[in-house]
């Protein structure tokens, strides 16, 4: 990307939860934005947002809206990405897409900057942002690659904000009614006929079930992890669970290595890893939890301990803000990689 004093940045899906945090992340990280162009569907056009203390008006997405755009951050869903990403690229923009539309395309880099930053420079106009759960898993696991990773078992505890603002509102409505109330707002597991209450509940389903018995969300953890780490045969066993938390995904992770590994070795590597904050002092009740991670771009790791029955396995607990590090923050970090190479 050519070196410039400032860049024209478009945000498609600007009025959504992740889109708003993309704009916030651009501001918080001091990204050199010359012009911010928030884009959304026609029904959201005219909405006023704030950037650097100034109002910015949302435009309806159109081919003309990408004229002169350097970087386009997309968070409007896979259908919108398939429609508009080629248009933006044709107009000269680099698209950083937060949807699942392009993640597994062989010629599209899938990037977590702390893990595989160099992959971003092999793009052909589109760079994919991984799934939120995959991002924090990779930040925590990649620093351990030199120990010889053989298998990952991961169980996620995913916040409802991963389903959008409507899910956040639905959970708050259910909580207000109490555990014995009859929910007037039925909480959707996914966009299908079956519904379950979310408040005071735990649902072992994130996204739709596939023929192999795993959900689409679980298979993202498998396939995306393999692609990011460059380990196409890596054994990943996932279980994705939705919990009544507003913001912040948690993961119980077990990593099996090629040799005997101590908790101290893992803790030392993670303590020096970019983007990782080790919080691991159980005697003082210090360990990661979603409220600790909310509003930050770091990945928190704790409860680091060797498995009771396998000296090659270490268990840990990993937490990150799913809308920031799991989406918006990571996308802006990718944008920074592009302009750093330009410099």
Q: Do both 78 and 177 map to the same domain?
A: no
Q: Which tokens belong to 57?
A: 């008006």
Q: Do both 284 and 172 map to the same domain?
A: yes
What was the pLDDT predicted at 343? 46
Q: Do both 171 and 273 map to the same domain?
A: yes
Does residue 17 lie in a domain region? yes
Does residue 1 lie in a domain region? no
Q: Do both 139 and 283 map to the same domain?
A: yes
Q: How many CB atoms lie within 10 A of CB 268?
A: 13
CATH number of residue 48's parent domain: 3.40.50.720
What was the pLDDT predicted at 158? 98
In sign, the C-alpha dihedral spanning 262, 265, 268, 270 is negative
CATH number of residue 274's parent domain: 3.30.360.10
Does residue 46 lie in a domain region? yes
Does residue 255 lie in a domain region? yes
Q: Do both 14 and 143 map to the same domain?
A: no
Q: Do both 19 and 154 map to the same domain?
A: no
- What is the span of the domain harbouring residue 187? 134-323
Q: Do both 310 and 336 map to the same domain?
A: no
Does residue 94 lie in a domain region? yes
CB 123 within 8 A of CB 94: yes
Question: What distance in Å separates the CA atoms of residue 318 and residue 289, rounded to the nearest whole number?
Answer: 8
Establish how many alpha carbons lie within 13 A of residue 55's alpha carbon, considering only the half-sphere containing its beta carbon: 4
Q: Do both 77 and 149 map to the same domain?
A: no
Domain count, the chain: 2
Q: Do both 55 and 85 map to the same domain?
A: yes
Q: Do both 201 and 313 map to the same domain?
A: yes
The catalytic residues are 132, 249
Does residue 2 lie in a domain region? no
Does residue 112 lie in a domain region? yes
What was the pLDDT predicted at 181? 73
The tens-digit pLDDT sequence of the chain (343 residues) is: 777 889 999 999 999 999 999 999 999 999 999 999 999 999 999 999 999 999 999 999 999 999 999 999 999 999 999 999 999 999 999 999 999 999 999 999 999 999 999 999 999 999 999 999 999 999 999 999 999 999 999 999 999 999 988 899 989 998 998 988 766 555 566 555 557 889 999 999 999 999 999 999 999 999 999 999 999 999 999 999 999 999 999 999 999 999 999 999 999 999 999 999 999 999 999 999 999 999 999 999 999 999 999 999 999 999 999 999 999 999 999 999 999 976 4
Does residue 125 lie in a domain region? yes
Q: Do both 74 and 140 map to the same domain?
A: no
Q: Do both 121 and 191 map to the same domain?
A: no
């Amino acid at each position: 990307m050519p070196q410039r004093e400032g860049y024209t940045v478009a945000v498609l899906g600007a009025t959504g939860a992740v889109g708003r945090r993309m704009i916030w992340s651009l501001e918080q990280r001091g990204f050199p934005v010359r012009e911010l162009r928030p884009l959304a569907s026609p029904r959201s056009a005219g909405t006023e947002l704030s950037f650097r203390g100034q109002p910015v008006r949302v435009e309806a997405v159109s081919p003309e809206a990408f004229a002169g755009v350097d970087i386009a951050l997309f968070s409007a869903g896979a259908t919108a990405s398939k429609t508009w990403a080629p248009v933006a690229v044709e107009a000269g923009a680099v698209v950083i897409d937060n949807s699942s539309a392009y993640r597994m395309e062989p010629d599209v880099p899938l990037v977590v900057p702390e893990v595989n930053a160099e992959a971003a420079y092999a793009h052909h106009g589109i760079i994919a942002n991984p799934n939120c759960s995959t991002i924090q898993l990779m930040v925590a696991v990649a620093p351990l690659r030199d120990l010889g990773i053989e298998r990952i078992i991961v169980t996620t505890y995913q916040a409802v904000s991963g389903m959008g603002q409507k899910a956040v509102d639905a959970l708050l409505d259910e909580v207000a009614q109490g555990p014995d109330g009859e929910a007037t707002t039925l909480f959707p597991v996914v966009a299908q006929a079956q519904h379950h209450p979310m408040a005071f509940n735990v649902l072992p389903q994130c996204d739709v079930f596939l023929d192999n018995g795993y959900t689409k969300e679980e298979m993202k953890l498998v396939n995306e992890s393999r692609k990011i780490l460059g380990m196409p045969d890596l054994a990943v066993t996932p279980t994705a669970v939705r919990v009544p938390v507003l913001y912040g995904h948690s993961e119980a992770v077990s990593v099996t290595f090629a040799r005997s590994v101590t908790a101290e070795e893992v803790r030392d590597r993670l303590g020096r890893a970019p983007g990782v904050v080790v919080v691991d002092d159980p005697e003082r009740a210090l360990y990661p939890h979603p409220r600790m991670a909310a509003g930050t771009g770091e990945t928190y790791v704790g409860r680091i301990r060797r498995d009771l029955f396998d000296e090659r396995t270490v268990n840990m607990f990993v937490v990150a803000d799913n809308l920031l590090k799991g989406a918006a923050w990571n996308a802006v970090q990718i944008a920074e990689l592009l302009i750093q190479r330009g410099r």
